A and B are shown apart, each in its own frame.
Chain A
Amino acid sequence: MSACSAPAPSAALAPSGMRDIPVLRERGQREVFCGLTGIMWLHRKIQDAFFLIVGSRTCAHLMQSAAGVMIFAEPRFATAIIEERDLAGMADANEELDRVAAQVLARRPDIKTLFLVGSCPSEVIKMDLSRAAARLDAAHANVRVLAYSGSGIETTFTEGEDACLEALVPELPQDTSGETSLLVVGALADVVEDQFTRLFQALGIGPVRFLPARTSSDLPPVGPNTRYLLAQPFLGRTGAALDDRGAQRIAAPFPLGARGTEAWLRAAAEVWAIDDARFETVVAAPRARAERALAGHRAAFTGRSVFFFPDSQLEIPLARFLYEELGAQLIEVGTPYLHRGHLDRELARLPAGVQLSEGQHVDSQLDRCRAARPDLTVCGLGLANPLEAEGLSTKWAIELVFTPIHGFEQAGDLAELFTRPLRRRDLLRVG
C-alpha cells in the first residue's frame, strides 16, 4: 500500500460516496480504448443489427486491431471513412452518409437496426448523427436507424455499450401488462443468459427479459412495473434512461463469482418476495459447484497482491471478487470512471483502506505499479508485454470483457483467468 499513498501532484483525494474509501483522481495520458470498441461484442450479440461508424481511418484501424483477429465471416460493422473532400465541403457529408448507409442496407437485407456510431472526427466537425438517423429511418422502411457516440472524446471502452443501450431505451415498447417484470441489463454471453433464465424461472421470478435482446426486433417492453438488474457495472446512462421510463433499479452487487451471483439473485428474489427455503433449494447446487470450482484457485491465489489499471469499469466488481472469494490483497484498483450509485453494493464489500483511482496518468500509475511489484497486474494490451518484460505477471483486461465470466457456472473460469498467468510463470523453466 505504501506505494500508492503518495498521490501525483495533480491528484486530489476525495472521499467516496458511502464509505470513506479514498479515491485518487488523476489527469494525464489515459491508456484506454474508446467506446467504438464495444461494437466488437455488440455486433455479435445483436444478430440483426449493423454498426456503421462515421469516422476516420484511425477508427477503422482501431476496430480491426483491437479485435486481435479479424472475424472470419463478414462482420456486421464497417466504417464510413470521412475523406478530404467531405471536410473541404466538396461533398455534402450528409448526402455521402446517406449513400453509404444505403449501400450497407442494400447489401444486408437481413439488417433490422442500423446504428450510426459517432466518432471523434464526426463530433469535432459537428455532424448531427441523430438527425441523420431520423432522416435515414424515415427513408428506409423496415429498418430502425439509431445513433450513438462511441467517440474517444466522449466515451471510454465499455461506455460505448452504455451509449448504445441508452439509444435503444426510448425504442422499447411501453409495458402495459400491469405485471411486475424483471429486465436484466447489459450484454451477456448467450450461454450465461440461458443459465440466468433457468435460475429465475426456478425461483419463480418473471417474466424475465434481457437488454440487449439477441435480435433488435425483439425489444423488451418497459414501464413503471419494470424492475431492472444491472449485469454490467458500466451502464450509468442506460440506467438513467430506464429510470426516466419509470423502471426501478434493484440495488445489487454484480453477478461475478459465487457470492456476487448469489447476492445478485437474492436482490431480485427479495423484490419478488421469494422465501429463503425456495431460494436455497434453487441456488444451493450451482453455488456449491461454483465454490468447488473456486476452491483450487483460492488456494493458489490467497495472499497474492493485485494491481488494476483502468480499463472497462469492471475493475471494482472484479477486485471485490478477487478479495472476497480468492483471498487476494488489493494494491490499487483503477477504474476509468466510478459510478458510485451503481457500485454502492460493491464498494461496501471492499476491504477498508483499499486504494481506488479514477481517471489516469499512465506514467505515474506505472511508477506506482513498479514500486509495488504486485503478483498480478490487470492491464490493457499496450502495457501487458512491457510489464511482463520487466518481470511482472499480467492479465490482459480485455479478455475479461470477451469471455463469459458472469454467473455460478463461470465462476471457476473467471478465477482461472487470474490464476493462469501465475501458474504459467511457475511452469516455465526458461528465463
Chain B
Amino acid sequence: MKLTVWTYEGPPHVGAMRVATAMTDVHYVLHAPQGDTYADLLFTMIERRGKRPPVTYTTFQARDLGSDTAELFMEAARDAYARFKPAAMLVGASCTAELIQDDPGGLALTLNLPCPVLPLELPSYMRRENWGASETFYRLVRGLAGPHAPAPGEARAERRRGPPRCNILGGTALGFRHRDDIKEIKRLLARLGIEVVVSAPLDASTADITRMGEADFNVVLYPEIGEEAARWLEKNFGQPRTRTVPIGVGATRDFVREVAALAGVDPAPALDDEDLRQPWWARSVDSNYLTGKRVFVFGDATHAVAAARVAVEEMGFELVGLGAYNREFARTVRETAQRYGVEALISDDYLEVEAAIEAAAPELVLGTQMERHIAKRLGIGCAVISAPVHVEDFPARFAPQMGYEGANVLFDTWVHPLVMGLEEHLLGMFREDFEFNNEAGPSHLGAHKPSPAPVTASEPEPALAVQADDTAETEDAAAIWRDDALAELKKIPFFVRGKARRNAETFAAQSGAQVITLETLYDAKAHFGR
C-alpha cells in the first residue's frame, strides 16, 4: 500500500479513454462502478470538449456482485453498439472489475458484434494512465493495421511514387497542447514536402488506422503514448521512426534534419522560420536578467528532458533539478540529468517532489499542475510544461509547445512568472518603498501574486515526505534568527528571499553558529554569492 496525496497519472483505463475519445468512431465499454464515471469530466470540463467521451460504463453495484455482473456487461456492450454504431469497440475493466474477473474481452466476443472488438488488459494495480494509452493505441494499430501487414519474410509493397509520406503518432484527448503541436508539426512537414498519411490517435478514424502501413516512416511526437505502436509498425511495415521530440529551437532543428534524412529530402527549407523570435528575444539585452536563474524541471520524461535543454541552452538558466514521474522513461531523464550535472528525481510521490523543490530553492519551477501548487506554497514562480494540467492550460489561442512557434510560446510562458529585469533592480534599490516593495510580487502579476516565502525560523507545515529528510530540517531549524537579521531578510525581494534564508541557515549550520545575526546573513551572502 502506498500513501498518496495527489497522483500524477490516473489509472490505465483513463489512458484508454484518452485514446478512445481522441478518435472519431471508436466506443469503449468499461466494466466499472458508477463512481468511475467521474473520468468523463476530465474531458468535458478540463478539456472543455462539447461531447461526452465515447464510453459506456456498466456501473455495477454491490447487489449485482456474484450474480449477474457478466450479464450486465453483455447488456451494456450490446446496447452501446446499438446506440452508437461504432466502427470498432474497445472493451475492458477498471480496477474494481479487474478484481471480479468477468473477462470483458471474452464476453464481448461471444456477442458477435458487427464491428471489430478489441479487448484491453490494463492491470490497474501495476500500471498507470500513460501506459494505458500506449497499450490501447498499440492494440488498435496491431488489430486494425495488422491484417494489412506483409506476411513475414515478404517484402513491402512497392513504394507509391510521389512525395515522401509519414504518420504522426501519439496525440490524444486531454493531451497537453497536443492539438496545437500536431498542427505546428504538420506545417513544418509540409515545408519539407512531406505528406501526412495519418495522425493518430487524435482525430483519426478506424479506417485511418488500417491505412497506417502506407507511410514511409513514423513521426513519434509523444513517445509515452506512441512509441510502442511505432516499434510494432517498424517491425511489421519496415517504417523507421523519429527519436527527437521537437520542443525548443535546437530540438526542432535536430528533428527537421532527422525527418529530412528519413524522407530523403533537403532539410534547409525548415531549418528556420520567419516567425521564429525566440533566439533574438533570448539574446536581446533586456533578457540579461534571465542569466543563471535557478530552475527546477519536473514533468513527464519527454517534456522534462526537452525543457531542461531549452532552459540551459536557449534561456541561459541554471538547472538545479530535473525529474519525471513516469518510471518507464527514467533512462532518458537520468542521461539528461547527468549531462547537466544534476541528480535525476524519478518519483511519482508528490510529497517527495515537494521536498526536493524546497531543498533546491529554485527561482522558477517548470512543472505540472502539482508543481504549480508546490511553487505557489513556496512563493516561487512556475510555468506549466507537462501533463497533468488544469483547465487554464487548455487555452483558446494557438499555443503549441513544439516547433518554432512552440519555441516562441515557451519563451513567453517561462518568462511570465519571473519579475521583469528592470523591475528587479528597482526592487533591490527601493526595498522599503511602501507600495513598490518586496511584498508586492511582480507588478504584472497582481491577480496571482505569490504568497511571500515564510520568514520565520520554524517551517509552518513541513510536508509529509520531509520525514525522509528530518535531520536536515532539524539542523536548519536549530539556528535561531535574531530580530535584526529577520528584519533584514524581509527586505530582500521575495523571489530570492527563500534562497537567502536557506543560505544563511546552511552557513550557520556549517560554521556551527547557534544564532543567525545580521553578520551571518551577509557572511552567507558573500560565501554563496554567485
Contact = CB atoms under 8 A, between A and B. Distances in A.
Interface stretch (A56-64, A183-191, A223-231, A340-348): A56-64
Contacts of B167: none
A107 B467 contact: yes
Interface string A89-111: 00101001101100110110000
Interface in B423-482: 461, 463-464, 467
A268 interface: no
Rank and list the top 8 A-B pairs by shortest CB-CB distance, nearest first.
A34-B35, A389-B50, A152-B35, A382-B40, A152-B33, A96-B1, A381-B41, A120-B96
Contacts of B113: none
Given A66-B38, A82-B1, A97-B1, A58 B125 contact: no
Contacts of B3: 78-81, 100, 103-104
Given A28-B79, A385-B44, A385-B49, 8 more contacts: A29-B56, A29-B59, A33-B35, A33-B37, A34-B35, A59-B35, A65-B41, A93-B1
A384 interface: yes
Interface string B1-37: 1111111011101100000000000000000011111
B377 A33 contact: no
A56 B44 contact: no
Contacts of B11: 56-58, 61
Nearest to B47: A385
Interface string B352-385: 0000000000000000011001001100000000
Interface stretch (A69-77, A235-243, A320-328): A69-77
13 contacts: A30-B37, A57-B4, A65-B39, A68-B45, A74-B463, A100-B1, A107-B464, A120-B35, A120-B96, A152-B34, A363-B83, A383-B52, A385-B49
B258 to A, nearest CB: 36
Interface stretch (A12-20, A121-129, A296-304): A121-129
Contacts of A59: 35
A298 B376 CA distance: 42
A56 B33 contact: no
A154 interface: yes
Contacts of A61: 7, 10-11, 14, 38-39
A64 B369 CA distance: 11
Contact of B52 (A36, A74, A124, A386): A386
B1 A83 contact: yes
Contacts of A64: 6-7
Interface string B115-139: 0000000011110100000000000
B58 interface: yes
A56 B50 contact: no
Interface of B: 1-7, 9-11, 13-14, 33-42, 44-46, 48-52, 56-62, 65, 76, 79, 83, 94-96, 99-100, 123-126, 128, 369-370, 373, 376-377, 390, 461, 463-464, 467
Nearest to A153: B62
B1 A57 contact: no
Main secondary structure on chain A at its contact with chain B?
helix
Among A30, A151, A154, the one with the most B-chain Cβ atoms within 10 Å of its Cβ is A30
Contact of A60 (B7, B49, B51, B56): B7
A121 B62 contact: no
A107 B2 CA distance: 15
A388 B45 CA distance: 12
A386 B44 contact: yes
Interface in A1-50: 28-37
Contacts of A125: 99
Given A32-B34, A389-B50, A84 B7 contact: no
A219 to B, nearest CB: 27
Nearest to A93: B1
Contact of A34 (B10, B33, B41, B125): B33
A87 interface: yes
B124 A58 contact: yes
Contacts of B61: 153-154
Contacts of B36: 34, 58, 62, 152
A385 B45 contact: yes
Nearest to A98: B1
Contacts of A151: 33, 35, 62
Contacts of A123: 62
Contacts of B10: 57-58, 61, 65
A164 to B, nearest CB: 16
A86 interface: yes
Contacts of A91: 1
A70 B6 contact: yes
A246 B14 CA distance: 47
Nearest to A157: B35
Task: Kindly name the residue among A59, A61, A82 whose own CB sees the greatest number of chain B CB atoms within 10 A.
Answer: A61
Contact of B96 (A36, A69, A121): A121
Interface in A183-240: none
A72 B373 contact: yes
A81 B4 contact: yes
Contacts of B62: 123, 151, 153-154
A34 B7 CA distance: 19
B83 A57 contact: no
B38 A84 contact: no
B461 A73 contact: yes
A34 B37 CA distance: 9
Nearest to A363: B83
B425 to A, nearest CB: 31
A28 B64 CA distance: 12
A81 B370 CA distance: 19
Contacts of A261: none
A149 B408 CA distance: 50
A312 to B, nearest CB: 14
A156 interface: yes
A29 B76 contact: yes
Contacts of B373: 70, 72
B95 A56 contact: yes
Contacts of B65: 124, 153
A82 B7 contact: no
Nearest to B75: A28
Contacts of A34: 33-36
A349 B37 CA distance: 33
Contacts of A385: 44-45, 48-50
Contacts of A68: 45
Given A56-B124, A60-B7, A93-B1, A69 B390 contact: yes
A86 B99 CA distance: 12
A124 B99 contact: yes
A124 B1 contact: no
B341 to A, nearest CB: 32
Contacts of B38: 33, 37, 61-62, 65-66, 382
Contacts of A28: 59, 79
Contacts of A60: 4, 6-7
A69 B177 CA distance: 20
A185 B373 CA distance: 34
A153 B60 CA distance: 7
A223 B282 CA distance: 73
Contacts of B57: 29
B1 A31 contact: no
The interface centre, meaning the residue of A65, A75, A120, A389 with most chain B CB atoms within 10 A of its CB, is A120
Contacts of B60: 153
Nearest to A71: B373
A34 B467 CA distance: 33
Contacts of A37: 35, 38
Contacts of B124: 56-58
Interface string A143-177: 00000000111101000000000000000000000
Contacts of A389: 50-51
B51 A75 contact: no
Contacts of A72: 373, 376-377
A72 B370 CA distance: 10
B135 to A, nearest CB: 16
A58 to B, nearest CB: 5
